[in-house]
């Protein structure tokens, strides 16, 4: 029997692998693919950390640039503010370093995270080296494409030549089609992000007691938010609701809204809101906070593509109170693992959070269901297998005789 050829996947990620939903998505997917028999993964991204579970090739950016904002990149430029000259410099860096990675790693398929800008480099590689690629749309890139035709026009050709386009939710799919056109519908298949159910699970009583002691939470109810502090997240409504919630409101994250949120708390003399800051790669501490929380609140005022922090909280057996925005309903079922609130409604946050705080048995049951949904529907092992099947569909059967193998020798 002919030995099955090795599948080599090159992942192209615009941002570091910690500090954002797309980074987390890329990190876990590459890790799971790398575990499969006869599979190898390499991630090209601007990541300075060394990860044991996945090989990383560091992408050296001419300058840091973001769609909206990142806690680790406080002085980054924004894509929509780039001059044409800056965009040209950036595009050259993406193409040059992708080509170098292709020549050295010799991938059989390329998986691009975000609709742009790495898709432009993948398109060049496909045209010159004949290596197929797919593109995952995370959603954070879409407002930029909608408002700046440079990114829309440059990305159209890349999407037309992608083998598949993978939105992370049905909402992200429709949003993408609205911006780029219905011609791409037949290429789309929704595959959501997932959660590491082995790492994100209820922390032990010993860990929780230590957390209580460190943060003075012993004997208190805890309401948690985790994420970037931007206006889209609606955290100001949670802070305003805090006065009428008999619990400690813990805010994990940093961002442009931090001064505004701190001012609201100071002006209104709100004493039960605590700003912990960005935890970075301190996953064990994040898991402890998720596990300690009685309720997780995500009061987004924009259409979240999915919200991986919601999945992480669910995996730690914490019920969620969320707005019915974007892709969130994909994971949250009213009354089973969480409750929905209307966006920008302080009164609604107070009502739903206090209901859960007052009904311990109901809250704990919802937490157990939340974990069950995370395990059954958002397990990274299952999601990675979906991608593996997708990769195999677009890779030539006989790699040794394919144009890919010949092209990467030159």
* φ, ψ for residue 194, nearest 5 deg: -135, -165
φ, ψ (nearest 5 deg) of residue 192: -75, 165
Which of 163, 90, 168, 87 is closest to 125 using CA atoms? Answer: 163
Judged by average pLDDT, the poorest of 209-218, 281-290, 297-306 is: 297-306
What pLDDT sits at residue 61?
94
State how far the alpha carbon of 142 is from the alpha carbons of 48, 81, 137, 202, 242, in Å. 26, 15, 8, 34, 32
Residue of 75, 23, 69 lying closest to 46 (CA atoms): 23
The DSSP-derived string for 208-221 is HHHHHHHHT-TT--
CA distance 193 to 195: 7
Q: How many CA atoms lie within 13 A of 365 on its CB side?
A: 7
Q: Are 41 and 393 in contact (CB under 8 A)?
A: no
**pLDDT of 177-189, one tens digit each?**
999 999 999 999 9
- Domains of the chain in sequence order: 7-194+379-402 (3.40.50.2000), 205-377 (3.40.50.2000)
Question: Residue 100 and residue 122: Cα distance in Å, rounded?
Answer: 12
The reported pLDDT for the residue numbered 326 is 67
Instruction: Look at residue 307 and tell me whether its pLDDT is greater than 80.
Output: no
pLDDT value for 401: 43
At 78-98, the pLDDT tens digits run 999 999 999 999 999 999 999
Give the total residue count for the chain: 410
Note the pLDDT of residue 400: 43
- The predicted-structure confidence for 205-245, as pLDDT tens digits, reads as follows 999 999 999 999 999 999 999 988 888 899 999 999 999 99
Q: What crossing angle do the helices spanning 170-180 and 149-161 adopt, rounded to 10°? A: 110
Q: Is the pLDDT of residue 322 over 90?
A: yes
| Mean pLDDT, the chain, whole residue set | 91
Is the pLDDT assigned to residue 18 strictly greater than 90? Answer: no
Tell me what pLDDT residue 306 has.
67
The whole-number average pLDDT for the span 359-381 is: 95
pLDDT band at 305 (very low <50, low <70, confident <90, very high): low
Secondary element (H or E) of residue 405: helix 403-407
Strand partners for 195: 379
The mean pLDDT value for 32-38 works out to: 93
Cβ contact 292:318 at 8 Å: no
Q: Where are the beta strands (DSSP E) in 324-382?
A: 338-341
Residues paired with residue 252 on neighbouring β-strands, in sequence order: 226, 277
CA distances to 93, 191, 307, 324 from 333, rounded to whole Å, are: 44, 18, 14, 10
Q: What is the mean pLDDT of residues 249-271?
A: 94
pLDDT in tens, 136-172: 999 999 999 999 999 999 999 999 999 999 999 888 9
| Residue 404 pLDDT > 70 | no
Q: What is the mean pLDDT of residues 300-305?
A: 74
């Amino acid at each position: 029997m002919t030995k099955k050829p090795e599948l080599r996947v090159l992942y192209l990620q615009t941002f570091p692998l910690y500090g954002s939903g797309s980074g987390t998505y890329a990190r876990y997917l590459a890790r799971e693919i790398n575990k499969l028999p006869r599979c190898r993964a390499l991630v090209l991204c601007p990541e300075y950390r060394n990860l044991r579970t996945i090989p990383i090739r560091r992408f050296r950016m001419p300058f840091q640039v973001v769609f909206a904002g990142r806690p680790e990149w406080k002085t980054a430029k924004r894509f929509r503010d780039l001059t044409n000259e800056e965009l040209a410099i950036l595009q050259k860096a993406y193409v040059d370093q992708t080509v170098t990675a292709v020549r050295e790693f010799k991938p059989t398929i390329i998986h691009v995270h975000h609709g742009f800008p790495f898709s432009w480099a993948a398109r060049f590689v496909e045209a010159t080296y004949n290596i197929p690629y797919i593109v995952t749309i995370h959603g954070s890139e879409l407002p930029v494409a909608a408002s700046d035709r440079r990114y829309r026009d440059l990305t159209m050709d890349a999407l037309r030549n992608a083998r598949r386009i993978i939105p992370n939710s049905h909402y992200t799919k429709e949003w993408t089609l609205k911006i780029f056109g219905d011609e791409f519908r037949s290429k789309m298949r929704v595959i959501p992000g997932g959660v590491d159910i082995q790492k994100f699970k209820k922390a032990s009583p010993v860990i929780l007691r230590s957390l209580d002691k460190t943060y003075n939470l012993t004997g208190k109810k805890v309401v948690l938010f985790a994420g970037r502090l931007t206006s889209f997240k609606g955290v100001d409504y949670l802070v305003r609701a805090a006065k009428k919630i008999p619990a400690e409101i813990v805010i994990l994250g940093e961002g442009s809204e931090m001064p505004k949120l701190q001012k609201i708390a100071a002006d209104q003399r709100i004493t039960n809101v605590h700003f912990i800051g960005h935890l970075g790669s301190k996953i064990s501490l994040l898991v402890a906070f998720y596990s300690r929380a009685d309720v997780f609140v995500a009061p987004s005022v924009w259409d979240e593509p999915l919200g991986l922090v919601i999945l992480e909280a669910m995996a730690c057996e914490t019920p969620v109170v969320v707005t019915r925005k974007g892709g969130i309903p994909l994971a949250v079922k009213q009354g089973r693992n969480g409750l929905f609130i209307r966006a920008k409604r302080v009164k609604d946050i107070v009502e739903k959070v206090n209901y859960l705080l007052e009904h311990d048995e109901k809250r704990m049951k919802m937490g157990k269901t939340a974990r069950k949904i995370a395990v059954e529907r958002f397990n990274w092992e299952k999601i990675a297998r979906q991608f593996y099947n997708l990769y195999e569909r677009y890779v030539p059967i006989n790699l040794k005789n394919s144009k890919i193998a010949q092209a990467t020798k030159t």
